[in-house]
């Protein structure tokens, strides 16, 4: 299977009890990923996390960052090799919510900043086959609470078509999303099947979780001699600006300090998630419901001399957590490669709903998926336009400047060692797959090459 990636004061809730579920099983490679002991669930709850690195959640890191989420993952089906199709919110959420790459609709969302909208996505086609639209056509009441204005009507109405109710908690923390989300779910559940979607901005910058969640921060700088307070957004920004002038030793300390406050954001979000899960369970919202959790993209914190996201195609920005949960879902781990485009068709299948011919992703686990999925990045002021192909343990990245990079992710998971060699048979084979897509993109958008 070839996978192409795009680039370019708070209380401490109790721990989650994920509730009754079927016994954990090893998911066989030839079987559907989602198997239910009894009827398929009727309702859908999607919890999408912003800017969440796969390697910092507890399941994959062994850290104490997400115990409540880990408990739910342990009773669900986790997609262990999941990647986002993009490294920023607009394209990644379009892939997840439509089952298509924006290239399939002959456009790629860029970003335009203005005084009124702050950030908006131009030329977004209307009538996209969003999951909300498709479920609304099937009689579902659909509602959205979103803390990211990029995934909201303030950014593009086409991205959120189909939601009957939309609440925008602009850049608000997880507690606000939960406070708005629970009453919305009560309203949705009043008539027939429902689809509730909560999009959390955490752990997006600024990293401002209460200090009690930043465990281990003081141990990294016990004497308090580090020149910048990374818990202060302005000072953290000044640190990143000064990064190129720091010694390697100072850079590594800075990276560990920034990761500590990033982990604090995850701990804070997880505590709110634990409170949400208890309320959902007590209110009966989990009894006949498929829960889907995924992150839109990741975050880079100095690993490749870059910060935040929308910077590159490296794993810190594109490899993300994703999982499904239901009370009667046979739990396990799915090892095969999956992407955001696979989420919408898999959700429809899990709800025993009719498939949608417009979805180009695959239902996870059903048949051999040999379709290539392509995308590209054009995000002025951030990453250079580029495309990336992942095949098994190998990744090939092409930038419009002509640079090609090749990584063996099995030996080099963070993609630090560029092994590009045109004579390498594996690298050249990947380039033969990727080159036609680069040519096609340049033909559709010739200004990409012209702007170099």
- b vs e for 248-265, b when ≥16 Cβ sit within 10 Å of the residue's Cβ? eeeeeebebbbbbbbbbb
Contact 398, 387 (CB under 8 A): yes
Same domain assignment for residues 100 and 62: yes
* Residue 380 within a domain: no
Q: Which residues pair with 355 in a beta bridge?
A: none
* Residue 84 within a domain: yes
Question: Which domain-ending residue is among 300, 324, 350?
Answer: 350
Same domain assignment for residues 393 and 267: no
For the record, the structure tokens of 8 come out as 């370019």
* Residue 378 within a domain: no
pLDDT by 10s per residue, the chain, length 452? 344 443 433 334 445 654 444 444 444 444 678 999 999 999 999 999 999 999 999 999 999 999 999 999 999 999 999 999 888 898 899 899 999 887 777 776 665 555 444 555 555 667 788 999 999 999 999 999 999 988 998 877 888 989 999 999 999 999 999 999 999 999 999 879 999 999 999 999 999 999 999 998 989 998 888 999 999 999 999 999 999 999 999 999 999 999 999 999 999 999 999 999 999 999 999 999 999 999 999 999 999 999 999 888 889 999 999 999 999 999 999 988 889 999 999 999 999 888 777 777 888 887 545 445 555 565 666 777 788 988 888 999 998 888 999 999 999 999 999 999 999 999 999 999 999 888 888 887 776 665 54
* Residue 126 within a domain: yes
Contact 452, 401 (CB under 8 A): yes
Same domain assignment for residues 174 and 123: yes
Same domain assignment for residues 105 and 200: yes
Same domain assignment for residues 156 and 199: yes
* Residue 237 within a domain: yes
Is residue 39 packed enough to be buried (19+ CB in 10 Å), middle (13-18) or exposed (0-12)? exposed
Same domain assignment for residues 295 and 318: yes
Whole-model pTM over 0.85: yes
Same domain assignment for residues 26 and 139: yes
Same domain assignment for residues 240 and 268: no
Question: Which domain-ending residue is among 350, 378, 395?
Answer: 350
Containing structural domain, residue 35: 12-207+262-350
CATH number for position 59:
3.40.720.10
| Tally of structural domains, the chain | 3
Same domain assignment for residues 29 and 82: yes
Q: DSSP states of 413-442 as a string?
A: TT--S----TT-HHHHHHHHHHHHHHHHHH
Q: In what order do the strands lie in the sheet with 165-168?
A: 165-168, 141-146, 194-200, 43-49, 289-295, 322-325, 77-83, 332-339
* Residue 370 within a domain: no
* Residue 374 within a domain: no
Same domain assignment for residues 122 and 194: yes
Same domain assignment for residues 415 and 327: no
* Residue 381 within a domain: no
DSSP character at residue 24: P
Question: Which domain-ending residue is among 350, 369, 396?
Answer: 350
Same domain assignment for residues 167 and 247: no
């Amino acid at each position: 299977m070839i996978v192409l990636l795009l680039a370019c004061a708070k209380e401490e809730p109790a721990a989650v009890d994920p509730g009754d579920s079927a016994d954990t099983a090893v998911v066989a490679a030839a079987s559907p990923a989602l198997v239910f002991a009894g009827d398929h669930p009727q309702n859908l709850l999607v919890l999408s996390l912003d800017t969440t690195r796969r390697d910092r959640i507890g399941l994959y890191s062994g850290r104490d960052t997400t115990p409540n989420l880990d408990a739910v993952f342990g009773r669900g089906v986790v997609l262990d090799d999941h990647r986002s199709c993009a490294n920023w919110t607009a394209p990644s959420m379009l892939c997840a919510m439509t089952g298509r790459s924006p290239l399939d609709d002959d456009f790629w969302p860029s970003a335009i900043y203005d005084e009124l909208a702050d950030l908006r996505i131009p030329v977004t086609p209307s009538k996209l086959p969003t999951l909300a639209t498709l479920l609304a056509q099937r009689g579902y009441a659909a509602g959205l609470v979103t803390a990211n204005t990029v995934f909201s009507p303030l950014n593009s109405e086409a991205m959120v078509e189909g939601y009957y109710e939309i609440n925008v908690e602009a850049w608000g923390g997880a507690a606000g999303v939960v406070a708005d989300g629970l009453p919305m779910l009560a309203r949705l559940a009043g008539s027939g099947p429902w689809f509730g979607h909560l999009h959390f901005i955490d752990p997006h910058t600024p990293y401002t979780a209460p200090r009690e969640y930043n465990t281990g921060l003081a141990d990294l700088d016990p004497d308090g001699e580090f020149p910048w307070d990374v818990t202060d957004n302005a000072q953290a920004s000044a640190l990143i600006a000064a990064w190129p002038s720091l010694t390697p030793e100072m850079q590594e300390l800075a990276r560990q300090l920034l990761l500590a406050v990033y982990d604090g954001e995850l701990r804070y979000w997880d505590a709110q998630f634990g409170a949400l899960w208890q309320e959902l369970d007590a209110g009966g919202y989990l009894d006949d419901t498929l829960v889907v959790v995924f992150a839109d993209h990741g975050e880079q914190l100095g690993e490749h001399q870059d910060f935040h996201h929308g910077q590159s195609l490296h794993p810190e920005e594109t490899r993300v957590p994703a999982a499904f949960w239901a009370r009667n879902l046979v739990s396990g781990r799915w090892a095969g490669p999956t992407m955001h485009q696979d989420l919408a068709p898999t959700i429809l299948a899990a709800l025993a709903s009719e498939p949608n011919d417009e979805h180009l992703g695959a239902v996870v686990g059903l048949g051999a998926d040999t379709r290539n999925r392509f995308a590209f990045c054009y995000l002025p002021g951030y990453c250079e336009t580029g495309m990336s192909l992942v095949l098994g343990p190998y990744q090939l990245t092409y930038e419009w400047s002509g640079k090609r990079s090749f990584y063996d992710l099995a030996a080099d998971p963070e993609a630090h060692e560029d092994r590009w060699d045109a004579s390498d048979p594996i690298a050249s084979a990947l380039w033969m797959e990727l080159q036609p897509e680069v040519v096609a993109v340049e033909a559709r958008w010739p200004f990409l090459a012209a702007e170099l």
